[in-house]
């Protein structure tokens, strides 16, 4: 694969379907991978927050990645999130990822510990060295870039094998600041689904997100049309898309499970406890109405 053109476009943050025992459900995982590849998505982001990666045991995470790679082969690039509670566990996952044939590794910062930029950079550096693959730190919200943004990005650029970042922020100014500070040396992915088009104006090369499991082909089409200058379509779609996201967020997991069954006949299961617990189920009519709202935008 041509690395210059590898990291861009629309990448679903892949669900990890689970069974009634909260273990990975590999048959549904295979079906989901095939669905998304057939839709023409540009890559897969595996075992991130949407994929519940940090909630699984190390052995389960390796099994999930192995199954994804077995199904995907070299049809699309795969980026795997290897962040864990300890750096040692992250290193083990990174080394396994390198052997599996993934295109890149990604990692959240040190989980549960606030050690400032020194801890984060050390954590990232050890993971990157272990994998020896293109590396993408995972910025999550407003708390994952410790200290001054400019100085932190300067240090990120010194991490071995650094290729880009996944920026899960709703702050467009923050994205453009990272882009300007890195002077284009980082390939930035937007991790906020509701800003996939807007973030492109702040320097992102693509988008990684949860809702692209459900609306992969639709979102890919809109993002490409927007970059070709079809502003009217992008504006209409993004306003509807944002309205849907805002509506379903309080009960997002129950919505996504029901919607995936209704739209794609894939059951992603419940979540690993305690994630998503206490959310109320949706009436089929509500889910069907939301799916129809998105379809109507694209049908004009």
Supply the pLDDT for residue 139: 81
State the pLDDT at residue 145: 66
Q: What are the structural domains of the chain?
A: 3-216 (3.20.20.70)
Burial 244-261 (b: 16+ CB within 10 A, else e): bbeebeebbbbbbbbbbe
Q: Is residue 141 over pLDDT 80?
A: no
Query: What does the buried/exposed string (b/e) look like for 121-155 if buried means 16 or more CB atoms within 10 Å of the residue's CB?
Result: bebbbbbbebbebbbbbbbbeeebbbeeeeebbee
Q: State pLDDT tens for residues 149-169.
A: 888 899 999 999 999 999 999
DSSP calls for 172-221: HHHHHHHHHHHTT-SEEEE--GGGHHHHHTTT-SEEEESTTTTSHHHHHH
More confident residue, 63 or 276: 63
pTM over 0.85? The answer is yes
* CA 80/CA 43 separation, integer angstroms: 11
| pLDDT tens-digit series, residues 118-134 | 888 999 999 999 999 99
Residue 167: its pLDDT value, please? 94
Structure tokens at 138: 């995972």
Is 80 exceeded by the pLDDT of residue 274?
yes
Q: 104, 100, 105: which is closest to 84 by C-alpha?
A: 105
- Tell me the pLDDT tens digit for each residue of 19-50: 999 999 999 999 999 999 999 999 999 999 99
């Amino acid at each position: 694969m041509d690395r210059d053109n590898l990291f861009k476009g629309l990448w679903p943050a892949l669900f990890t379907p689970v069974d009634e025992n909260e273990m990975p459900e590999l048959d549904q995982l295979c079906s989901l991978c095939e669905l998304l590849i057939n839709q023409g998505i540009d890559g897969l982001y595996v075992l991130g927050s949407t994929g519940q990666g940090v909630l699984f045991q190390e052995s389960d995470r390796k099994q999930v990645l192995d199954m994804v790679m077995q199904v995907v082969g070299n049809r699309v690039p795969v980026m795997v999130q290897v962040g864990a509670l300890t750096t040692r566990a992250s290193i083990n996952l990174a080394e396994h990822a390198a052997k599996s044939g993934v295109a890149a590794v990604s990692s959240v910062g040190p989980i549960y510990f606030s050690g400032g930029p020194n801890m984060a950079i050390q954590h990232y550096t050890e993971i990157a060295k272990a994998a020896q693959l293109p590396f993408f730190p995972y910025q999550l919200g407003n708390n994952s870039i410790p200290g001054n943004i400019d100085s932190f990005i300067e240090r990120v650029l010194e991490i071995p094998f650094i290729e880009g970042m996944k920026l899960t922020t709703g702050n467009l100014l923050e994205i453009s600041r990272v882009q300007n500070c890195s002077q284009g040396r980082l390939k930035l992915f937007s991790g906020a689904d509701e800003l996939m088009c807007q973030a492109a104006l702040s320097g992102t090369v693509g988008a990684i997100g949860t809702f692209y499991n459900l609306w992969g082909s639709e979102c890919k089409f809109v993002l490409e049309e927007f970059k070709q200058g079809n502003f009217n379509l992008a504006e209409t779609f993004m306003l509807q898309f944002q309205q849907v996201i805002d509506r379903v967020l309080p009960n997002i997991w129950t919505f996504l499970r029901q919607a995936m069954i209704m739209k794609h006949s894939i059951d992603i299961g419940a979540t690993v406890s305690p994630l998503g617990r206490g959310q109320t189920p949706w009436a089929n009519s509500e889910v069907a109405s939301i799916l129809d709202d998105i379809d109507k935008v694209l049908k004009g």
